[in-house]
Structure 1
C-alpha cells in the first residue's frame, strides 16, 4: 500500500482546486542527488507507481523536450523545476532504462531549503493544478543509514 500524503498538504491542495494527489515513488537519496554540481534529482521510471503524464507530455519528453514542474515540500515552499526524460545504463538491471530527471531552475535550492542529505528518503506525489499543469509534492524522512550503500539502487552512467 502506498504511503499517504500528509493530511495538511492534501487539504491545502484540494482547497486550491488541484486534482487528487497520486503517489509516484519513494527513493533514498544518494550523493549524486544532493551534490550542487549535479543539480538534479533522478527518478527511475521503473519505480514510478502510477502514470501522471498526459499523452502530449509523454510525447514531448520522448522527443527530448522538457516540461515545467512546480515542486512543493511539506512546509508549502514551492520551487520551479524542469522535468525531462533520460536514457541511462543501469548496471543492476543490465541494460538501458528510462528515468525522469528533475533539473535546473531550483533543485539545488530545494536541497538547501530542505537540508537534504544522502540517505534521506523522499516520497513523491503528483497532481494537476486547475490549469492542468503537473505539480509535484514531496515529503522527506530523515533517516540514518549506512552511507556505504549510497547509490546501490541507482548507480547509473548516463549515455
Structure 2
C-alpha cells in the first residue's frame, strides 16, 4: 500500500527503527528533541531526493496561488534555504545550531597518547582540533563521515598550503591514530561549513565501536611536517 503524502510529514516508530535508534526513557527533554529533529531532517532529505527522481511536471501553476495553497513553498528565500540544506554535502543534524553552544569541559591530552605521538610517531606540534559528542550521522553507515564543523574547530591545525590544497583538490590524505593506537590512512575533506573525515571512516567507527552520544576528540600533530590526526574516546554514551 502506497504511503500517503501527508503521512510522510510525521515521525513514527518506524522512522526510529529504520535508523536503528532505540528510544531511551532516560533521555532529557532536550536530548529527545535533538534526536527527533535529527531524524525529521534525515527523513525530509530522503523524501526530497525521492521527489527529485520523479518526472518533472509542466510548470503551468500560478506561483501566487501555489504559495497560498502550500505554505511550505512560501518564499523564494525559504525555498533556497531548504534547497541549500539538502545538498548532498551539507552537514546539519542540528550540530551547527546546538552542539557548539554546549559548554563542555575540555579534556587535555592523556600522557599515554602524548608519549605515543612523541616517541613512537616522532610527532610534534600537538593540538586539540575538536571535542564533540557524536551525532547519528557520524556513526551512520550511509553517511560514512565524521563531521568537524568549522565553528567548533578550536585551533587552526592546517597550514596555509594545506588549506589551499583542500580548497582546490577538495580533499587531503592524512594518517589517523585510532583509539587502539593502530594507524590508518583517512581522507580529510571540506564540505560547506565543515571539515569531514571520509572514506575509511566507517571502518574506523566499527573498529572503535563508536555510537551516537559518545564524546570524542580529534587531535592533530606533525610527523616530518606531514599532517596526522588522532582519535580519542573520552566517554561512552
Rg larger in structure: 2
Match of 2:11 in 1: none
- Runs of 4+ that moved beyond 4 A: none
- State the partner residue of 1:133: 226
Q: Distance in 2 between matches of 1:74 and 1:42?
A: 18
**Correspondence for 1:113:** 207
Q: Give the gaps of 5 or more residues in structure 2.
A: 1-104
> Could you tell me whether the CA contact under 8 Å between 1:22 and 1:127 is conserved in 2?
yes
Matched with 1:103 is 198
> How many matched pairs?
132
CA distance in 2, matches of 1:70, 1:79: 6
Aligned to 2:117: 13
Paired residue secondary structure (2:123)? coil
For 2:167 and 2:160, locate their aligned partners in 1 and report how far apart those are by CA, in whole Å: 10
Q: What's 1:81 paired with?
A: 186
Q: Which has the higher contact order (CA 8 A, sep 6+)?
A: 1
Residue 54 (structure 1) shift = 0.9
Indicate the residue corresponding to 2:54 in structure 1.
none
**What is the aligned-residue RMSD (CA, Å)?**
1.5
1:47 aligns with 2:47: no
SS at match of 1:108: helix
Which blocks of at least 5 consecutive residues in structure 1 are unaligned?
88-97, 145-159
* Residues 96-129 of structure 1, C-alpha deviations (whole Å, 9 max, x = no match): xx1101101x111111110000000111110011
Whether contact under 8 Å (2:106, 2:131) holds in the other structure is no
User: What TM-score do you get using the length of structure 1 for normalisation?
Assistant: 0.77
Partner in structure 2 of residue 4 of structure 1? 108
Q: Partners of 2:232 and 2:141 in 1: how far apart?
A: 20
The answer to whether the 8 A contact 1:14-1:20 is kept is no
Please identify, of 1-10 and 119-128, the stretch whose mean Cα deviation from structure 2 is larger: 1-10
Structure whose residues are more often strand by fraction: 1
SS for the counterpart of 1:4 is: coil
